[in-house]
Structure 1
């Protein structure tokens, strides 16, 4: 839902950057893909695109006054208090809210992220109470970290743990609490400012690379678009309203269809063969590629994953998992693409 005070640039109006847009769409269709890290030049619209995808998503139903955005019926997405209320056959009140979109500041502390003791209640009422952090507020939403490569490694690890498990566990001064925290983790950064450690990089589901547009015609078009939006945001948003509605409905349909999508055994074997040939450590690459291919298939309104689906997502899923060789002349994304072309050409 667009805010009059804070208008958001329409997602469907963004020119180019197809890798980034596809990765974001697939992650909102299936958050279990594990998020996306977007690396690229400064001023290429990373933040604009990420905020635009959040604005595109439909409202969600939550339990009213619950600090964890608990789902009213899905037990995996509700807090213990809500579970107990339902078990006692007590009535719960629900409300519709916009998808939570949280920006994580670089200076955030672990207490601010995970939650801590509510000092006010402790002093006034003499009771130990939990004060929810950002991981509570972002449940069922999107957590965005700009300049993720500058964030403390320990905090990145905590965020990746919660993103992968869907839960946040806090142990503080005699309080032990576990609450749902399932979200799409999106990080962006400029490679010139340093890379993430490989073991952290590997835990992001997908890796999108973006480059500054070189074509002068496209650059002019992008500049003109931005000027039109800045001069009259509401009028510009109105132009893309139908496209936005159509894409929103396609995403909703894909989320519903996802559980029906199947991927044949021989294609699973091909994915694992590619991972093996590229010497990808662990099995995250296999799992994420399978999930991303199924999400893309659902996005296209299909229920059977094809070779084309796998080819379209496999570079995004594997490029950041290859071992770094400073003497290697070929770029990691090209290496994944070439290997997948060779192995998948024989698939039926």
Structure 2
């Protein structure tokens, strides 16, 4: 489903770091029909170590609006935009090597990762971002630390931020080696329910006509989100996982045929963040099941077709025998085994012309 700012991603309120006064932001609590996206974003805000959220959907589905709305709920309340054409130095920062050689001091010029600390780093059309930039920002998002190295000199700083990447599948898929690095993924769809569309349009018009008044209506809900996110962050270290939770996570990941163990780790962290947000005393199997979809959506592999291919030779062999018996073709009984020649067709006679004057080659020339 889409949010209340559907169709107006860039016409909404901006909270990007630009040096200009920020316009009012559409409230996170006022998003309509985006429960799954709101949950994923809140979980990433509670535990930035999840690796961020990848939002996939067609144009005009309020992807950037949701990112801007989340930034307001974080401690710094800042959203930093990473342009597609940014250089690696612009992202991670630079070191002044000359100052090291001159007086032994390291002068570090912060990049976008430093500015996004405790806020949101937003990447629109992340599927079009160069590999080098994607690797750098995903590493920092997972570890919470950004390290810059130049000619044997290194500098590290905290870079704990919520990574939000958006993409339109029609403009190209995210590379397989990178998509797994995002912790959660949500797919947005166009809204075709009349009541939902009407509610979205009404909310949009109300916000455009009176942004301050509209935000006042949701002020209490917004404050509740802020408080609950802060409390959940503090509660994370107090929550643990019992054997039943671990067993359910393993079963879900095995059933999805995921590669590696990253899905298991992300699912446990997401379940813990959800339990903390709901002020639960412990992480339960129910929490795991509620976060499984966004964790596995981009990691799930279709292994049913593999099992079908393994069973196909045994099931296909009798079919050929029956066909051969019905047609009276005795040649079918001499066909190769089904395991090695599935799909075998018996040879058909073809017209041939005799050739005269064939000169046999000497045995050494054959």
Band of TM-score, shorter chain: 0.7 to 0.9
TM-score for the superposition, normalised by structure 1: 0.76
List gaps (5 residues or longer) in structure 1: 60-97, 329-348
Correspondence for 2:226: 248
- Do structure 1's residue 42 and structure 2's residue 59 form an aligned pair? yes
Query: Does the 8 Å contact 2:257/2:302 carry over to 1?
Result: no
Correspondence for 1:105: 83
**Structure 1 segment 230-309 matched on structure 2, within 5 A:** 230-309=208-287
CA shift at 1:128, angstroms?
Answer: 6.3
Residue correspondences, number: 287
Query: For 1:226 and 1:234, how far apart are their aligned partners in 2?
Result: 13
> Are residues 230 and 120 of structure 1, via their aligned partners in 2, closer, same or farther at CA, if it must alter by over 3 Å?
farther
**Structure 1 segment 52-63 matched on structure 2, within 5 A:** 52-57=69-74, 59=75
CA shift at 1:322, angstroms?
Answer: 2.1
Query: Does the 8 Å contact 1:294/1:305 carry over to 2?
Result: yes
Query: Does the 8 Å contact 2:244/2:285 carry over to 1?
Result: no
> Are residues 193 and 225 of structure 1, via their aligned partners in 2, closer, same or farther at CA, if it must alter by over 3 Å?
same
Query: For 1:322 and 1:5, how far apart are their aligned partners in 2?
Result: 40
**Structure 1 segment 101-180 matched on structure 2, within 5 A:** 101-117=79-95, 129-173=107-151, 175-180=153-158
CA shift at 1:262, angstroms?
Answer: 2.4
Query: For 2:279 and 2:175, how far apart are their aligned partners in 1?
Result: 37
The Cα offsets for residues 139-163 of structure 1, whole Å up to 9 and x where unpaired, read as: 2221110110111122101111111
- Do structure 1's residue 182 and structure 2's residue 160 form an aligned pair? yes
Query: For 1:225 and 1:121, how far apart are their aligned partners in 2?
Result: 54
**Per the alignment, in what secondary structure is the counterpart of residue 108 of structure 1?**
coil
Cα RMSD (Å): 2.6
Correspondence for 1:27: 44
> Are residues 116 and 215 of structure 1, via their aligned partners in 2, closer, same or farther at CA, if it must alter by over 3 Å?
same
Structure showing greater relative contact order (alpha-carbon pairs closer than 8 Å, 6 or more residues apart): 1
Query: Does the 8 Å contact 1:160/1:204 carry over to 2?
Result: yes
CA shift at 1:327, angstroms?
Answer: 7.2
CA shift at 1:271, angstroms?
Answer: 0.9
Query: For 2:181 and 2:227, how far apart are their aligned partners in 1?
Result: 30
Give the greater-gyration-radius structure (CA).
Answer: 2
TM-score for the superposition, normalised by structure 2: 0.73
CA shift at 1:226, angstroms?
Answer: 0.8
The Cα offsets for residues 185-215 of structure 1, whole Å up to 9 and x where unpaired, read as: 1101111111111111001111111111111
**Per the alignment, in what secondary structure is the counterpart of residue 320 of structure 1?**
coil
Correspondence for 2:321: none
Correspondence for 1:82: none
> Are residues 220 and 121 of structure 1, via their aligned partners in 2, closer, same or farther at CA, if it must alter by over 3 Å?
farther
> Are residues 36 and 5 of structure 1, via their aligned partners in 2, closer, same or farther at CA, if it must alter by over 3 Å?
closer
**Per the alignment, in what secondary structure is the counterpart of residue 139 of structure 1?**
coil
**Per the alignment, in what secondary structure is the counterpart of residue 44 of structure 1?**
coil
Query: For 1:125 and 1:144, how far apart are their aligned partners in 2?
Result: 37
CA shift at 1:292, angstroms?
Answer: 0.6
Correspondence for 1:14: 31
> Are residues 99 and 125 of structure 1, via their aligned partners in 2, closer, same or farther at CA, if it must alter by over 3 Å?
farther
Query: For 2:302 and 2:123, how far apart are their aligned partners in 1?
Result: 24
Query: For 1:199 and 1:46, how far apart are their aligned partners in 2?
Result: 23
Query: For 2:146 and 2:251, how far apart are their aligned partners in 1?
Result: 35
List gaps (5 residues or longer) in structure 2: 1-13, 16-20, 307-366
Query: Does the 8 Å contact 1:36/1:185 carry over to 2?
Result: yes
